[in-house]
């Protein structure tokens, strides 16, 4: 079983309040406060046409997620989305 990396939103003076990861064509995000309360089944999921190779929060922003795929050996920015 492959366990994907998870990322927390980070920025100057920010507390972690969101988590993001990707698997295949999907980017999945959780509200960290809900996860800490055991509510792990509440999440948002976004499907892309391409296989996602990298995802992260925009620096200093806990709502904007940026994702990338690989096409023809080049890293391609996928349309971002907001939580």
For the entire predicted model, the pTM comes to: 0.69
pLDDT tens figures, 22-41: 888 888 888 888 988 999 88
The sheet with strand 52-57 has its strands ordered as 52-57, 64-71, 74-82
CA distance 17 to 33: 6
Q: What is the DSSP letter of 62?
A: S
For residue 75, is pLDDT > 70? no
Domain boundaries, the chain: 7-82
Farthest CA pair distance, the chain: 42
């Amino acid at each position: 079983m492959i366990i994907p990396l998870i990322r927390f939103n980070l920025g100057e003076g920010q507390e972690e309040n969101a988590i993001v990861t990707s698997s295949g064509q999907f980017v999945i995000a959780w509200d960290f406060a809900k996860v800490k309360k055991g509510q792990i089944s509440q999440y948002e999921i976004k499907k892309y046409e391409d296989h996602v190779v990298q995802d992260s929060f925009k620096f200093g922003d806990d709502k904007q997620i940026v994702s990338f795929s690989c096409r023809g050996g080049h890293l391609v920015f996928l349309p971002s989305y907001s939580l």
